[in-house]
Structure 1
Amino acid sequence: MKKKTLLIMLSIAVCVALIGGATMAWFTNESEATDAVFIAGTVNIKANGATILGKKNYNNITPGDCFIVEYDIENTGTTDVELRTILDLSWNNDLELDNVFIIPHPTTNWVLYQPEDETGPEHPVYVYYMGGPVSPEDIVKLRLVVYFDGEMITRELSLQ
């Protein structure tokens, strides 16, 4: 019986020593944590003004005229970007926008989108570049075909 009691006491002493040692290690442990550094790139886009392609006179637009307008859009930031923009359909006179049609040129990777519940020239038109992310210092051309409907327009126009 003395052997059993001695073994039980020894087992309890070992358990107490293990629990005490683990608790002391838990509270006295030190760790050097290094700073977590995150470096974010910058997003910066530069859009050069509209250029009318071809030798067309856009100061005196007549019904039925069709123009290709080109913008150079450059990623001047430090990270790749997905390009999108909103077209602001406005003119320098009282031209009815229902008579003007704008589509992306077929040789570009741009698409236009206007939600079904927000159609019409008074609502924004969203333009998305579908050619993938644009790398820093890359230039993408946005070409739009602008058509002035001949049957819907009855007077001379001036493009802004």
Structure 2
Amino acid sequence: MNIYVDADACPMNDIIIELGLANNLSIYLVKSYNHYSLQEYPTGVDTIYVDTGKEAADYRILSMANDGDLIVSQDYGLAALAIAKNCLVIHPKGFAYNKGNIDQLLASRYQSAQARKQGIRTKGPKALTESDKQKFTSLLTKIITKNIQ
């Protein structure tokens, strides 16, 4: 199992790197050139830069990921496509995307987009909490443990 991170806005990179490397997994941080950084990562962590297009990171992740790989993303569209590819997909807030919840999440995203087009202000995502970090760490640990044995 490899770990692919939609890393432009992922607040959990440090946790992913720590747990992934502790379990000898390869980690790929996929970012747009708009988020270029000179930060150096340990061996086993590769940063892949893509064009600044809206879904460039998503397309790169999908082209690289294989059945059973783990993807970390806040993007419901990417999650839906990755689930269809038999990848495991988790959100930085600590929940797993799956065939049972992805349709509702996509519908909610669509409804919010339609409301914004009509000029209705919608709420943005809630701030990340310590509880979210704990849920994410617990879920990531569980997935890694289950899939590397």
Normalised-by-shorter TM-score class: under 0.3
Relative contact order (C-alpha < 8 Å, sep 6+): which is higher? Answer: 1
What TM-score comes out, normalization by structure 1 length?
0.21
More strand by percentage: 1
What TM-score comes out, normalization by structure 2 length?
0.22
Q: Which has the larger radius of gyration?
A: 1
